[in-house]
Amino acid sequence: MSQYTTLIDCDQLATLLQDGPTPVIFDCRFDLGAPDSGEAAYVDSHLPGARYLHLDRDLSGAQTGSNGRHPLPDRECLTARLRSLGLQHGQQVIMYDAQGGMFAARAWWLLRWLGHSAVAVLDGGLPAWIASNQALHTHTPALSAGSFVSSAPLVSTIERRELLADLEQGKRLTIIDARSADRFRGENETLDARSGHIPGARNRFFRDNLDDGGRFKLPVRLREEFTQLLGQSKASVSVHQCGSGVTACHNLLALEIAGLAGGQLYPGSWSEWSSDPLAPVALGS
């Protein structure tokens, strides 16, 4: 049985659940304005056998005031948490949410950060699952500890000091900002310390990766759009950021779907960058 490493559709997941091998499904629903609502929705109903991962508690680390709103979690803590939720080493993992994949993609990227390749996002998420008349469960599954252990990362990151050095040395990296166009321009900023964007960054709102039905665009379409955005740059020298390192993972997933692998995540993203009064800021488009 081949692994799913980017996306899985509802029919494919239903087949896995019926015929095996049994995957582990994680519900990643979340709302930045109501942090408890995703877990409450999970308790109300969820995909068969799904376990819940909370963006703040499970998929992020401790804030220091200068490391962004959603810093990366401790690798060993996240590994232990996944193991406690029953993940077996090498087992297929499926992530889903109800927000177009914005939180599921963060969890997808983190599993790859832990060295786990067999992880995919449910294309269309919960709305697609419901639309395809698939079953939902209301009971929380009984869990026993799994055997999952982390290994060498399959993805890479870059830190603020490295980006600052690159800006000083001539912008050899291509920075792609996944925030909405208005926040990128420096308008309507309500979440972070300053408005604007990292000088030289290019804007690719993460929702532009989706079609009108809330599913990811076809690989050939994503490849065309990202190739145009990257210009002469290779995907392997691209750096991806957003407000806090969450929706940037959506762009990284879209690149993988398009066959343009190798981009780096700037985990602190704009929330970290803007908290440094000495970090340069650009406004406008």
Q: Which of 92, 88, 232, 242 has the alpha carbon at shortest distance from 171?
A: 232
- Between 75-84 and 104-113, two packed helices, what is the crossing angle to 10 degrees? 110
Burial class of residue 11 in the structure, from the number of CB atoms within 10 Å of its CB (0-12 exposed, 13-18 middle, 19+ buried): exposed
Tell me the one-letter amino acid at 274.
S
Strands 7-8 and 24-27, by their bridges, are: unpaired
Q: Which of 10, 28, 242, 249 is catalytic?
A: 242
Query: What is the dihedral angle through the alpha carbons of 245, 247, 248, 251, rounded to the nearest 10 degrees?
Result: 160
Beta-bridge partner residues of 197: 282
| Calpha distance 79→156 (Å, rounded) | 18
Residue 249 designated active-site: no
Active site residues: 242
